Amino acid sequence: MGKMSLRDIDVAGKRVLIRVDFNVPLSEDGRVGDDTRIRRALPTIEYVVERGGKAVLMSHLGRPKGKVVPSMTLRPAAERLSQLLGRGVTMAPDSVGDSTEGVVARMRDGDIVLLENLRFHEGETKNEPDFARRLARMGDVYVNDAFGTAHRAHASTAGVTESIEPCAMGFLIENELANLSRATDSPESPYVAILGGAKVSDKIGVIQNLMPTVDVFLIGGGMAFTFLKAQGAAIGDSLVEDDRVETALSILNSAAETSTSLVLPTDVVVTEEIAAGAPSHTVDAHAIEPGWKGVDIGPATVKAFSEQIANARTIVWNGPLGVFETKPFDKGTVAVAHAVAEATDAGAVSIVGGGDSAAALVQSGLGGRVTHISTGGGASLAFLEGKPLPAVEALTDAPVGEETA
C-alpha cells in the first residue's frame, strides 16, 4: 500500500510538524550559499500556511555530533526562507525544550517556526525514543519532506512517527518517489545507467538491482579502475578498491551472460598530481604507467558514452565521471551532462542523483533540461538499490483506494 500524502490531511488550525532538509552550504559570511533545498521545500510549507496550518519546521545542518556548534545554526536558513516566502519565519532557540515548546505554543494560524539544528542533540541520529517524543509534542500531525534523509532511521524521520498520527509525505518526497519510480517500474528501452564516483562498493547494489532492466551501464569515475583492474589492465596509481576486484569481475561476467552491456572507459586523462592546472595527458585506459593516476574519461570514451546516451529513452545518472571538483578534470562529466540534456530534449526520461552529477548539470546551466534532479544522493541510491527507505516506511498508509507513493 502507498503512503498518506499531505493532501489527505486537513491542516487548518493544526500544528504541522514538518521534517525538511535545510542541510545547505553556508558561505564564509554565514549566508546560504545554495538555496536549492530550501526552494524545493516551499510547495509543502506554502500549502500548510495558506490553509491555516501552523508550520513547525525541523532540520539538521552538517555534522555537529550532538554538540552545539554556532557555525552550524539554522538561522541563515530561516532568514533565506523568510526572503523566499516574503513572510516572517521565527527561529526557535533549540529543537526541543520548554523555551522551544513555548515558541510553538504561541503560534497563530499561518505562522512558521524553524527549530534549531536537530543534530545539536545526540538523540537525533541515535533515534532515541525520548528525543523523538519531545519533538512529537510540538505537532498535531507530522509531514516528512526531507528526501535527503529518507534512508536514515533518525528521531525526526522515524522515531517521531511512533508518537504522532497521522504521518504523511510532503510534496518533495512525493515528487522524488514518483520520478525515481520511472527508473525502476517498467522503464522504456533503451535504458542507460551512467554510474561514476569513487567507489564500486557504493554502486554494487544499484548495478545488481538494475541489471535485469538496464540495457547499458556506462561506468566512469574512480570506480571504473576497479573494473579495469579486474580485466587485467595496468592502472598505474589510479584509485582502486582491491577488495572489490573479484566482485567487479563477477559483475562483468554476469553482464556478459545477459543482454546487458557494461561499457568501461577506453581512454582516460591521467596526471601525477590532482591539482588545478596540473600537467595531464590522455592514455589508453588499459595502459596507465606507474606514478600516474586516472582522473577523467578521455575524448574517445566521451564520444562512445554520448552515442549510447543519444539513443536512450530512459537515463539514470549517479556520480561524476572524473575528479569533477578539480579543473580541468571535470571535462568528461560536463560533456556527459550535455549529452544527457540533449537526449532529454529529444524525449528521453532522465533521472539524475544528487551530488556532483547534479552539480555538473546546474553549473553548466543544464539543470532545467533533465526530467528530474534528486535532492538526496544517498536516498536515491538506496531507492535504486531496491532498499526500503525507513523514513517513508514509517509513514501512515494511504487511505484505501488512493494511489500515492
Are 164 and 142 in contact, with CB atoms under 8 Å apart? yes
Tell me whether residue 313 is one of the annotated catalytic residues. no
Helix (H) or strand (E) holding 284: strand 280-284
To the nearest 5 percent, what fractions of the chain are helix, strand and coil?
40, 15, 45
Active-site position among 199, 303, 313, 369: 199
What are the cell numbers at 232? 587485467
Tell me whether residue 355 is one of the annotated catalytic residues. yes
**45, HSE (Cβ side, Cα atoms, 13 Å):** 27
Are 223 and 203 in contact, with CB atoms under 8 Å apart? yes
Tell me whether residue 159 is one of the annotated catalytic residues. no
Q: Residue by residue, what is the 3-state secondary structure of 38-61?
A: HHHHHHHHHHHHHCCCEEEEECCC
Specify the 3-state DSSP secondary structure of 141: strand
**280, HSE (Cβ side, Cα atoms, 13 Å):** 24
Active-site position among 220, 222, 353, 355: 355
Active-site position among 52, 66, 205, 378: 378
The C-alpha atoms of residue 354 and residue 376 are separated, in whole angstroms, by 5
Active-site position among 15, 19, 37, 152: 37
Tell me whether residue 199 is one of the annotated catalytic residues. yes
The C-alpha atoms of residue 148 and residue 20 are separated, in whole angstroms, by 9
Show which residues are catalytic.
37, 199, 355, 378
